[in-house]
């Protein structure tokens, strides 16, 4: 076997080794012996250099007309399109998701890049009348400065792209710190932006550990904003350490699907399978709780057991695979631990629950029933293919159960009754509610994010993403030729 390639950091337009002199490997979770490459273990000094480069590049980039910035993003979108197949297979090898989901991830990266390229010709502010004569009032957008972008592994192209393209089109410069589980996907994205013609220093990437590289970025005085997606505990420590900079946090979820007694059960079945076991349950929007009406519980359980039993585990590159591996050994052990917790709590295991006897970090698609909403398996984010069924008697109990967790990212209800659907939309405390569709499948021109311990009020995607990465300036232009005092000269 040939020696794996050694990939570098990207600082000030050049690919360089870390000053730490250390590297780490990225492997294939379906065959952990396959090393995809070695990557630089970045250190504080690397971050320092990257921030310096981003700061130096800021004046020119922020003054580049936004439509011109958009042209570079258009070229990046084109390169993503041309390389979609290769990028998707590498993604499947690096994090395990099945190939059509990897294609979806790259497609999402293309979509947001195209959307943000178009924003180069909008970046809209607004105008509004003044309370005084001969005075114009309007708003315009300003970039923030150097943005530190810290991303997870589960959407290794889409999530970095949401952040990077939005930050760039707004005129910011970027220091990107990807997850150490998916540094190859991150490197490919940076290579694409380099090829698209991004000037040096505008985008920098430092790979390495969260505690070291991540925290140095978070604490750095010259970083004006942090945008983070990842675990709630990491987000909480970032918030503590970031000081007075702008912080956007997108964190975990414990999303639920309500299946009412009038639901189209075949449709709901597809939604639960896709939401619960798609990406091996490793989506922030994964449906890890199914809140099912007692009248249809037994029937729906039988339908689920039958369908889950047919799901094929395997290497995500094989077309017959339905469910790939978990991202690493720790994730596999976490799912196994929660199965034990569930059994000890008195939940009934209907199917799955084991680490299968195969190479790789696989875990059987697992379904518990007779769960109460208070059980740990129904409260905590497992981030694996483990789903809990909770039975309810009416819509009040259903919305009470769905809201009983600390998170508030995604949610869904299956019902044919429009009144019930609207009640649910109003009552559910979550950033996203789907009606007669699963908890996953966001589109890039709509806002994405959560409430409660999932988010901090920011949203990504569409115009809300632009809001995260730009400052609003209010402008008053008085052409009356005299002093006009607001709130005083009101006659
Ligand atoms: P994680 O929090 O472990 O890591 C995310 C990133 O933070 C990585 O780059 C990591 O290196 C870095 N990091 C870790 N410790 C740090 C520290 N002390 N300071 C600064 N950076 C640090 O999360 P993960 O395991 O990569 O991702 C899974 C989590 O992400 C799940 O909780 C999932 O729900 C969440 N997620 C949320 C969304 C969303 O939009 N709400 C989307 C995807 C994933």
Q: Is 215 in the pocket of ligand 1 (CB under 6 A)?
A: yes
Catalytic residue list contains 284: yes
Question: Atom of ligand 1 at shortest distance to CA of 181?
Answer: 26
251 CA → ligand 1 middle, Å: 7
Looking from the CA of 468 toward its CB, the CA atoms found within 13 Å total: 31
Residue located nearest, by CA, to atom 11 of ligand 1: 210
Give yes or no for a contact between 17 and 40, defined as CB atoms under 8 angstroms apart: yes
Looking at residue 2, its pLDDT comes to: 77
- Secondary structure class of 327 (helix, strand, coil): coil
Catalytic residue list contains 250: yes
CA distance 472 to 467: 8
CA distance 187 to 441: 25
Q: Is 399 in the pocket of ligand 1 (CB under 6 A)?
A: no
Question: Atom of ligand 1 at shortest distance to CA of 217?
Answer: 20
Give yes or no for a contact between 294 and 287, defined as CB atoms under 8 angstroms apart: no
- Treating both helix axes as pointing N-terminal to C-terminal, what angle do 99-119 and 158-169 enclose, rounded to 10 degrees? 10
Q: Is 328 in the pocket of ligand 1 (CB under 6 A)?
A: no
Residue located nearest, by CA, to atom 23 of ligand 1: 230
pLDDT along the chain (491 residues), means of 10: 91 98 98 96 98 99 98 98 98 98 98 98 98 97 98 98 98 98 98 98 98 98 98 98 97 98 98 98 98 98 98 97 98 98 98 98 98 98 98 98 98 98 98 98 96 95 96 98 94 76
Q: Is 450 in the pocket of ligand 1 (CB under 6 A)?
A: yes
CA distances, 335 to each of 94, 172, 342 (Å): 20, 39, 10
Q: Is 467 in the pocket of ligand 1 (CB under 6 A)?
A: no
Residue located nearest, by CA, to atom 15 of ligand 1: 210
249 CA → ligand 1 middle, Å: 10
CA distance 339 to 386: 8
75 CA → ligand 1 middle, Å: 29
Q: Is 381 in the pocket of ligand 1 (CB under 6 A)?
A: yes
Q: Is 189 in the pocket of ligand 1 (CB under 6 A)?
A: no
DSSP 4-45: PPB--EEETTEEE--TT--EEEEEETTEEEEEEEEEE---HH
Looking at residue 490, its pLDDT comes to: 79
CA distance 86 to 459: 30
Phi first, then psi, for residue 287 (nearest 5°) are -90, 95
Question: Atom of ligand 1 at shortest distance to CA of 179?
Answer: 9
Question: Atom of ligand 1 at shortest distance to CA of 455?
Answer: 41
Tally Cβ neighbours within 10 Å of residue 163. 26
Q: Is 458 in the pocket of ligand 1 (CB under 6 A)?
A: no
Among the listed residues 108, 119, 250, 468, the single catalytic one is 250
Among the listed residues 114, 284, 364, 371, the single catalytic one is 284
Residue in this structure with the two tokens 């380099």, named with its chain if needed: 194
214 CA → ligand 1 middle, Å: 10
Give yes or no for a contact between 161 and 113, defined as CB atoms under 8 angstroms apart: yes
Q: What is the dihedral sign for C-alpha 283, 289, 293, 295?
A: positive
Beta strands in 151-297 (DSSP E): 173-177, 203-205, 225-229, 246-250, 255-259, 287-293
Q: Is 231 in the pocket of ligand 1 (CB under 6 A)?
A: yes
Looking at residue 1, its pLDDT comes to: 60
Q: Is 247 in the pocket of ligand 1 (CB under 6 A)?
A: no
- What order of strands is seen across the sheet that includes strand 135-143? 127-128, 135-143, 470-478
Looking at residue 356, its pLDDT comes to: 98
231 CA → ligand 1 middle, Å: 4
Mutational test site, ligand 1, from 24, 205, 230, max ligand atoms within 8 Å of CB = 230
């Amino acid at each position: 076997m040939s020696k794996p390639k050694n990939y570098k950091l990207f600082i000030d337009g050049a690919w360089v080794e870390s000053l730490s002199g250390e590297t780490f490997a990225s492997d294939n979770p379906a065959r952990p012996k396959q090393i995809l490459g070695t990557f630089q273990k970045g250190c504080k000094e690397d971050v320092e250099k990257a921030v310096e480069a981003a700061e130096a590049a800021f004046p020119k980039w922020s003054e580049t007309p936004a439509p011109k910035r958009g042209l570079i993003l258009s070229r990046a979108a084109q390169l993503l399109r041309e390389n979609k197949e290769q990028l998707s297979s590498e993604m499947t090898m690096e994090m395990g998701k099945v190939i059509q989901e990897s294609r979806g991830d790259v497609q999402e990266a293309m979509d947001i890049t195209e959307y943000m390229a178009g924003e180069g010709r909008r970046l809209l502010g607004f105008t509004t009348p003044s309370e005084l004569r001969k005075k114009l009032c309007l708003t315009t957008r300003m970039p923030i400065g150097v943005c530190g972008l810290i991303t997870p592994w589960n959407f290794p192209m889409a999530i970095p792209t949401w952040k990077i393209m939005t930050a760039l089109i707004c005129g910011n410069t970027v220091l990107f710190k990807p997850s150490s589980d998916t540094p190859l996907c991150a490197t490919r994205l940076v290579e694409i932006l380099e090829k698209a013609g991004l000037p040096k220093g505008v985008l920098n990437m430092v790979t390495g550990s969260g505690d070291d590289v991540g925290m140095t970025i978070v604490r750095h005085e010259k970083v004006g904003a942090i945008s983070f997606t990842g675990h709630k505990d990491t987000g909480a420590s970032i918030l503590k350490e970031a000081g007075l900079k702008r912080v956007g946090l997108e964190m975990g979820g414990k999303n639920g699907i309500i299946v009412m007694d009038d639901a189209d059960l075949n449709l709901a079945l597809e939604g639960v399978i896709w939401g619960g076991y798609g990406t091996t349950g490793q989506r922030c929007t994964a449906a890890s709780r199914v809140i099912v009406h007692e009248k249809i519980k037994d029937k729906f359980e039988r339908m689920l057991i039958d369908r889950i039993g047919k799901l094929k585990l395997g290497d995500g590159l094989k077309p017959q695979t339905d469910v790939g591996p978990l991202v690493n050994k720790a994730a596999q052990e976490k799912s196994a631990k929660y199965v034990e917790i569930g059994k000890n709590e008195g939940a009934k295991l209907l199917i799955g629950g084991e680490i299968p006897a195969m190479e790789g970090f696989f875990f059987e698609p697992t379904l518990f029933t007779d769960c109460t909403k208070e059980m740990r398996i129904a409260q905590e984010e497992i981030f694996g293919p483990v789903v809990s069924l909770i039975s309810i008697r009416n819509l009040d109990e259903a919305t009470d159960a769905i809201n009983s967790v600390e998170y508030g990212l995604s949610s869904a209800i299956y019902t044919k009754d429009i009144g019930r659907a609207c009640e649910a939309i109003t009552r559910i405390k979550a950033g996203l509610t789907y009606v007669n569709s699963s908890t996953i499948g966001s589109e890039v021109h709509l806002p994405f994010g959560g409430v409660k311990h999932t988010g901090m009020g920011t949203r990504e995607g569409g115009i809300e993403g632009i809001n995260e990465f730009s400052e609003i300036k209010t402008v008053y232009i008085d052409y009356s030729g005299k002093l006009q005092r607001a709130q005083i000269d009101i006659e």
